[in-house]
A and B are shown apart, each in its own frame.
Chain A
Amino acid sequence: MIEFINVTKSYEQNQADALNNLNLFIDKGEFVFIVGRSGAGKSTFIKLLQRELEPTEGTIKVKNHDISLLKKKDIPYLRRRIGVVYQDFRLLENKTVYENVAYAMEIIGRPQSKIRNKVPLALELVGLADMADRYPGELSGGEQQRVAIARAIINNPSILICDEPTGNLDPETSREIMALLDEINRHGTTVVVVTHDVDMVNEMKKRLIVLDNGKLIADNMKGTYDNAFA
């Protein structure tokens, strides 16, 4: 599903968050944690996958297609395949919960009838069915996170990427969010969670990839952070 082959990304200015000859393969339907200190290359990883950035060297494949071969006009279609939940949620403050989620369908040209059917189902899935009319400013961090997840999955992406999904949440809410991601994964979506929340990684016992200084230093199935370096 996702394949990085000898990928190097260097920045002219600073070396932080660069990637150094990274090789990794994530299969369809996997649930993967990518862990590392800040500056380890996590956000570069996401930007490369969305082709917001291009690698200095190496090849990135999504669904077996080399994404560097995509024409500019086809990049949006790559991004529709990859739902991203951002650390800062990136919700539109002047739109309701319902509208924020519907928006993702509108911009790819889905008809209103489809939108009216599907948005309530997604809100149901993330547990926000009764908050459709609220504005993001009225919601807690965990609720906003759920809206962002609903928006990211509304167009049935093959891959869901979450950037620090539990970064600002208390442990109880974090656990609920992870349970939600686990459920989405069980529906067949490949889920990649980029985080430095070690406790949660250890609790979930999923595949764990550890990045440090742009290099892959550990890749364990059912890994915990404590034994990642064992």
Chain B
Amino acid sequence: MPSHNRPSYLPSIIKESFQSISRNTLISIAAIVSIIATLLILGIFIIFSVNVSQLTQVAEENSEIQIFLLEGVTQEQKDNLLEILENDERVSEVTYESKEEALENFSKSLNNYQELLGDYTEENNPLPESFIVKTYNIEDLAAIRDLANEYKDEVEYVRYQESFINSLSNFTQFIRILSIGLIAIMSVIAFFLIYNTIRLTVANRRKEISIMKSIGATNSYIQIPFILEGTFIGLISAFLSVLLVILVYYYVIGYLSGNLIFSTSTLFISPRNIIILILISFTLYGAIIGSIGAAFATRRYLEV
């Protein structure tokens, strides 16, 4: 005699959702994989955007031009140029960097690789002296650059960063459009896979549904287990994706740290700082696409 399977204390609705997911294993897995793929793209996009915006901010705060002086300019020439720069109302700050300071600063920026500079001393220091100029508005940097370039007897060349900022923001724009496009396409695919998963479940349980209706179950009572099932699929995918994205990000940062001579801690946002953002956005995305897909899949069957 079969064991008496008394209805459990766990609300039977939730139990049935899980049973149903395990019954339609293959198509459930297909739906989960497609949502994970979509979320990976979203994850890459989020990580990229967050890092780029930090990078842009750092770059903007440090926006400056560095005017490198020719070897052997006189003190008078330097004073003259300094006065012109300081009197320009667009300029907020002018710092003089001597050859010695330049060598020291460069040495510092190399972190653990200072021995690369081992052969250079004050006598054979190849670095030029320079003025580091900041402006109140980042847009004025170009004009100051042009101004400095007119002093051909004193100025060797002007290092100018704005082009980097520009290309960074162009690249960001490109990545943003590409990601949004990909996410949209992938979302449509994920939606239909969830839709079909739930349709199959609904079809499997048609008899049950018609019995439920004839006994007087409300539409929402009938619909809720299916919507929960879709939501569970979305959430399972979301959590797997969070794990995957964070692991990959840790790995990539670890890889870069080991291979770049510059410190990555200032360049990249720590995974700890974006895990909340990723967790929330993924969970929301998973729950929303799962429940909407399921709601659409069940709506038609309930029209009696």
Contacts from A to B (Cβ < 8 Å): 50, 52, 73, 76-81, 84, 86, 90, 92, 96, 98-99, 102-104, 106-109, 112, 115, 132-135, 151, 155
Contact = CB atoms under 8 A, between A and B. Distances in A.
Interface string B186-213: 0000000000000000000001101111
Contacts of B3: 133
Contact of B221 (A78, A79, A107): A107
A96 B2 contact: yes
B130 to A, nearest CB: 77
B217 A52 contact: no
A120 to B, nearest CB: 12
A76 B217 contact: yes
30 contacts: A50-B214, A52-B304, A73-B218, A76-B216, A76-B217, A77-B216, A79-B213, A79-B214, A79-B215, A79-B216, A80-B215, A90-B207, A90-B214, A92-B207, A92-B208, A96-B4, A98-B6, A99-B5, A104-B215, A106-B12, A107-B216, A107-B221, A108-B216, A109-B221, A112-B7, A112-B9, A115-B7, A132-B4, A155-B215, A155-B216
B217 A107 contact: yes
B24 to A, nearest CB: 16
A52 B212 CA distance: 13
Nearest to B221: A107
B143 interface: no
A138 to B, nearest CB: 9
Given A107-B217, A108-B217, A102 B7 contact: yes
Contacts of A50: 214
Contacts of B281: none
B7 A106 contact: yes
Interface string B245-276: 00000000000000000000000000000000
Contact of B5 (A92, A96, A112): A96
Nearest to B210: A90
Contacts of A99: 5, 7
A91 to B, nearest CB: 8
B205 to A, nearest CB: 10
**Of residues A79, A84, A132, which shows the largest number of chain B Cβ atoms within 10 Å of its Cβ?**
A79
B1 interface: yes
Interface of B: 1-7, 9, 12, 207-208, 210-219, 221, 304
Contacts of B211: 90, 92
Contacts of A133: 1-4
A78 B218 CA distance: 11
Contacts of B210: 90
A134 B216 CA distance: 25
Given A52-B304, A92-B207, A76 B218 contact: yes
A106 B10 CA distance: 12
Contacts of B6: 98
Please provide the 7 A-B residue pairs with the shortest distance between their CB atoms, ordered closest to farther.
A80-B216, A79-B216, A107-B217, A133-B4, A76-B216, A76-B218, A104-B215
B195 to A, nearest CB: 24
A84 B210 CA distance: 13
Given A79-B214, A81-B216, A133-B3, 11 more contacts: A76-B213, A76-B219, A79-B213, A80-B216, A98-B6, A104-B215, A107-B212, A108-B217, A109-B221, A133-B1, A151-B215
Contacts of B1: 133-134
A107 B215 CA distance: 8
A102 B12 CA distance: 11
Given A52-B304, A90-B207, A106-B12, A98 B214 contact: no
A148 B172 CA distance: 65
A60 B21 CA distance: 42
A104 B211 CA distance: 9
Contacts of A98: 4, 6
Contacts of A80: 215-216
A117 to B, nearest CB: 13
Contacts of B217: 76, 107-108
A118 B4 CA distance: 17
Contacts of A79: 213-216
B1 to A, nearest CB: 6
Nearest to B4: A133
A115 B1 CA distance: 23
